[in-house]
Amino acid sequence: MAAPDNASGAASPPQRPYHHMRGGGFRNPPGSPRRNATFWDFLKFLLWDMRRKRLPPLPEGLATASPPDLEALGENQVAWLGHACFALRLGGKLVLTDPYLGDVAGPFGLGPRRFLPPALRAEQLPRLDLIAISHNHYDHIDTKALKAYRWRAETPVVCPLGVGTLLRKLGYSQVIELDWWQDWQLGDLTVTALPAVHFSGRGPFDRNRTLWASLAFASPRKKAWFGGDTGYGACFREIGERTGPYDLALVGIGAYTPRIIMEASHATPEEAVQIARDIEAKSAVGMHWGSIMLTPEDPFEAPERFRQAALEQQYGEGNAWVMQVGEVRGF
């Protein structure tokens, strides 16, 4: 009988995860939509679609009359500060997600500008137990806000692989980088980095050099999932099977046109409901809308489509939450 290849007893090298590219960098999980947009699609998007967009009148009631008191946030409560920035308390820990709290999403003061201010500015934040970051885009990592936060040395930050370099430059000394499916524990709170369908980059030469992720937060009693930025893909059924169910999903519903460009990056409101169903979330908050125009669709149509999709997909309209900026809810 022929001897096996590893008859010498040497351990086989660990298999490289699918999302780790040979030579460095990352890619989306299997079953994700392909990127089919051409150079001309992007040119039309930048020079025609975005130049023609006009902000409609702001609907009444987009934001609460007063800012939330994050120090008073109770266990299993969540506050929306705008865009993808939430504060939530789980396992006794006050967590902040994707702190974009400035006015411009871009470098050197260039880029899309907010039309609705955040519920709080970085200078108004209390001391947090944890900052959690999904990826390195400018509307999710706001360097001015992160510099303005007063407890950089004391507050740990969880982020995907490669993002820690930027955070350490901003003065954060407790940085935990996670790959997909890896956990980190903070007292009674467990944080897990999970797959997402997106990309990364803050300039022309670093595309996909750092990882992007969705994030799960679990206490002994409750579980919440934060989607960051993501398109729809097969990975969410796997997340539901391996880590679900969840009490709450924070899922993006805006910035989804043109589809040929955004399909592999941002879910439609209808796909957002499907994501919540796939991960087995009891309720879902629609986020990533109502603060800044990143794409040319009407920025206020997403919530109505989100609620309608919840009805049509038998998820339940009452389970598809549309919060005000500054609102606090229990879950």
Residue 90 lies in a domain: yes
Taking only the tens place, the pLDDT of each residue in 25-40 is 999 999 999 999 999 9
For the residues 265-289, what does the mean pLDDT come to? 98
pLDDT at position 13, please?
A: 63
Taking only the tens place, the pLDDT of each residue in 124-183 is 999 999 999 999 999 999 999 999 999 999 999 999 999 999 999 999 999 999 999 999
Residue 51 lies in a domain: no
Q: Work out how many domains the chain is built from and give that number.
A: 1
Residue 251 has pLDDT above 50, yes or no: yes
Residue 102 has pLDDT above 50, yes or no: yes
Residue 30 lies in a domain: no
List C-alpha distances in Å: 325 to 82, 84, 91, 276, 291: 5, 11, 24, 21, 9
Residue 48 lies in a domain: no
Residue 245: give the domain boundaries.
73-324
pLDDT at position 2, please?
A: 42
Vertex 325: Cα angle to 310 and 85 (nearest 5): 85
Residue 250 has pLDDT above 60, yes or no: yes
pLDDT at position 263, please?
A: 96
Residue 284 lies in a domain: yes
Residue 230 lies in a domain: yes
Residue 65 lies in a domain: no
Can you give the CATH number for the domain in which 94 is found? 3.60.15.10
Residue 56 lies in a domain: no
Residue 1 has pLDDT above 60, yes or no: no
